[in-house]
Structure 1
Amino acid sequence: MLQDNSITLAIVDDHPVVMEGVQKLLESKKHIQVAGCFTTGADFMAFIKSNKVDIVLLDISLPDVSGIDLCKDIKALSPATCVLVLSNHSERSIIMQMLQNGASGYLLKNASAAELTNSINEALEGQITFSREVKEIIARPSASALRGIPQLTRREKEILHLISEGVTTAGIAVQLSLSPLTIETHRRNLLQKFDVKNVAALIKIAVQQGLV
């Protein structure tokens, strides 16, 4: 925390009701100074270039940029600024992505006043902090973890590796001396085994499970 015990906080959210509510909530916290409220990522990035912000309460749905990308930009420009997500998005994958991009914590907008102030303090102390509901979401295993690693044949592993490198069906057929029809059959089998609908999702899970 700052030596004079005063904390500068900014709010980035395009819902006026949320901004007003959070500001009102923090009025009683004399050590927290609200430096500004911003409805777009661009406005906040312009502000932080010339102003010190100790902690920012960041929404994910903004009119000009995703909070997921903005979080990374904030940390690149001002590594000392704590990013505390305050959002309605409760998807586990989004929570994990925000943490990977440098967020210090994640709260849903239905968090209590006590949870918010507690999380602000914890984030400023260098902790990773969550509201109670977010802790429960994180504790649940992801869908891919629940599915486990599919059993693949040697040929399927070869084809999966080539798909991940961006080789086309025709290209794989040439490399493996198989017909394109056979490759397509293997591709369908891989999608089925991983329980996904497209190649992008297939590659994502394969990477997560260390198969490619």
Structure 2
Amino acid sequence: MCNPIKLLIVDDHQMIIEGIQSLLEDQTTVKIVGTATNAKLCEQFFITQTADIVFMDINLPDLSGIDLTALLLKKYPTLNIIALSTFTQGTYVRKMIESGAKGYLLKNASKFEILKAIEVVHSGQKYISPEAQEALNYELNLQKKLPKITKREKEILVLIVEGLTNSHIAEKLFISIDTVDSHRKNLYSKLNVNNTARLVGFVNENKYLDYL
């Protein structure tokens, strides 16, 4: 008989943890080896124990599940992480996958889907729930349509959105005011706006920085 798949649940809501434990308590193919309600406890778990799969909540109190996923995979590259979230926005799905997650489940997933996701991911494939996949497809299509900017332009755009003037940006980035002004004009051109107010409006309305 094959060893059961070892599962760690990371979620800051005890009700979710207990719900998954209840759903899987009669399973012989999956064994819940631990739970953690925040990133710190999750990291502590791996000091003395191991898991094959981690169910990862995105909204944790001390570190986002997106950042924690990237952190864990840097230390444990063979770990399989499946996001388990209430967030259906494509941005969250994309960022989790970009961080290295192998799956994305919604918290209203059925027992059947949870087990399917575990089996699929454990076999080396990806599993994204249909609703999350639809949101991800929309997100990726939208991303393709948005204008591309350089790394330096992004740095300056972030500071413009924060309300900094050209002189403050120049001081912060150790570049000349003329260089900042040149980048600002390039941003106007690329994003098809003609002043700072419209530039900031475009960024906020389209959540543009989330796509960069």
1:189 to 166, 177, 194: 194
Q: Shift of residue 28 of structure 1? A: 2.0
1:85 to 74, 83, 86: 83
In structure 2, relative to structure 1, the CA distance for the partners of 1:149 and 1:166 (3 Å cut) is closer
Mark the structure with the bigger radius of gyration. 1
Q: Shift of residue 189 of structure 1? A: 1.9
In structure 2, relative to structure 1, the CA distance for the partners of 1:175 and 1:38 (3 Å cut) is closer
Partner of 1:32: 30
Off by >3 Å, runs of 4+ in structure 1: 141-150, 160-178, 182-188, 190-195, 201-205
TM-score (norm 2): 0.74
Task: Give the fraction of aligned pairs with identical amino acids, expressed as a percent.
Answer: 29
Higher helix share: 2
User: Retained in 2: the 8 A contact 1:194–1:202?
Assistant: no
| Structure 1 runs not aligned, ≥5 long | 151-156
Q: Shift of residue 90 of structure 1? A: 1.5
Partner of 1:118: 116
Partner of 1:106: 104
User: Retained in 2: the 8 A contact 1:8–1:34?
Assistant: yes
In structure 2, relative to structure 1, the CA distance for the partners of 1:190 and 1:107 (3 Å cut) is farther
Q: Shift of residue 141 of structure 1? A: 4.3
Q: Shift of residue 197 of structure 1? A: 3.8
Q: Shift of residue 74 of structure 1? A: 1.2
User: Retained in 1: the 8 A contact 2:166–2:181?
Assistant: no
User: Retained in 1: the 8 A contact 2:91–2:136?
Assistant: no
TM-score (norm 1): 0.74
| Structure 2 runs not aligned, ≥5 long | 158-164, 171-175
Equivalent positions of 1:1-212 (< 5 A) are: 4-142=2-140, 144-145=142-143, 147-149=145-147, 163-164=153-154, 166=156, 169=166, 174=178, 186=188, 189=194, 192=198, 196-197=202-203, 208=212
Q: What is the CA–CA distance in structure 2 between the aligned matches of 1:194 and 1:143, rounded to whole Å?
A: 22
In structure 2, relative to structure 1, the CA distance for the partners of 1:165 and 1:42 (3 Å cut) is closer
User: Retained in 1: the 8 A contact 2:89–2:132?
Assistant: no
Q: Single out whichever of 6-15 and 166-175 deviates more from structure 2.
A: 166-175
